[in-house]
Chain A
């Protein structure tokens, strides 16, 4: 690992100033320290932002949440209010990583973790995300666990976060502190598709500091499901976050997002549209899944993900629909 200076930020302004001088932000470090050890990240200076006052979960009277960026994944998933009002969020967080990692990893860090594409993590290999213009060996190589939607000729990586998939379904937004002040970015505008600039996972500008995640009230049943290669402590092949409101056997409201399929959490608006106002039957669930997955462009070795996503959509909707 390359030597680096370590500093603690005393305020958001202080963190931004140090970043402008060349320091990289350090949260829980469960991804960054690993990437430094792998030689993927080579900061010469780290500024620790975990001591800033962003460690609280605030509940507004309507049932919305404001989750500080420094809240640990464990504390978020254990929070009674979250478990009660936004179970899909608690379930998604619990589906990720291990107990040890969740105890340290922060909400901000979870949002900003990098892809686990094996070429990105191998500093000896070309990778357009790590080294723009060097090429993407995954397209012809090992890509069984990579994207089926929204990928480009430059990058077929997937976003690894489970939490972000739930946040996409929940219409969450990200509070950002930048050089021009504070702003609130809807999660759909926060992440981006790779296009010809896969080195950028998000729309954040250099120095932007994530301070909180805002989650509006939900008020309907929700659920997160994840399919992976072993029962626990593995990244998603495909995952799904669903919230569903049924009245008189008809879908009144639905939110659906997929994980493990794209460069960002994939909000399935076409599926939602196909469901809204229609009967809660498997036939319509299947139509909705197919409407969304029509756009899928699987690679040589990951067409199974299209089937998996379809089945996961149908099954999760059926489970949620039964309980209503």
Chain B
């Protein structure tokens, strides 16, 4: 008997970009595998598959996470947004628009992860979450370039488009602030 080769299956429900999916998944499958292979949502990229590059970043329950380290079976009932779900009614999100405006990419492979990560990060900053770049933890941080770089350090760009990425995130943060004022 070769029990090692026998996959274990489990049934889960995921809500992805507003649509509900019932899926029969291998317990070993990551959310990234399920999104790409089962749901055909290939925007999220498999870069390192070890949580080190951020190309697979998605939003789970509104929080940015590495889809490669998330076991799908442990996320039954989760609400997921991928890069395919950032635009609303055919309009790009402010983060997406800012990346285009500021050339926040070259080859584009890390971009879906950068976009989802920036989206989640701006929510974190809005809630007053500090970062390792925050000097005084008692006050709510201001998103200057050092803060943006630190908060986006989980997303690598091998083309080195960081200048444009930081500019884009800065712009998206400013637009969000203006929209709320």
- Residues of A at the B interface (CB closer than 8 Å) are 1-6, 26, 29-30, 33-34, 37, 46, 48, 50, 74, 77-78, 83-84, 87, 90-91, 94-95, 97-101, 103-104, 231-233
Contact = CB atoms under 8 A, between A and B. Distances in A.
Given A26-B74, A33-B69, A78 B154 contact: no
A48 B74 CA distance: 8
A34 B51 contact: yes
Contact of A99 (B5, B124, B128): B124
Contacts of B91: none
Nearest to A26: B74
Contacts of B7: 3
B130 A232 contact: no
Contacts of B3: 3
Interface of B: 3-8, 10, 26-28, 30, 49-52, 54, 57, 63-66, 69-71, 73-74, 117, 120-121, 124, 127-132, 134, 137-138, 149-155
B49 A99 contact: no
B50 A34 contact: yes
B120 A99 contact: yes
Contacts of A83: 130, 137-138
A177 to B, nearest CB: 21
A84 B140 CA distance: 12
Contacts of A33: 30, 69-71
A170 to B, nearest CB: 15
Contacts of A87: 137-138
14 contacts: A3-B27, A26-B74, A29-B71, A33-B30, A37-B50, A78-B130, A90-B130, A94-B132, A98-B154, A99-B64, A99-B152, A99-B154, A103-B63, A231-B150
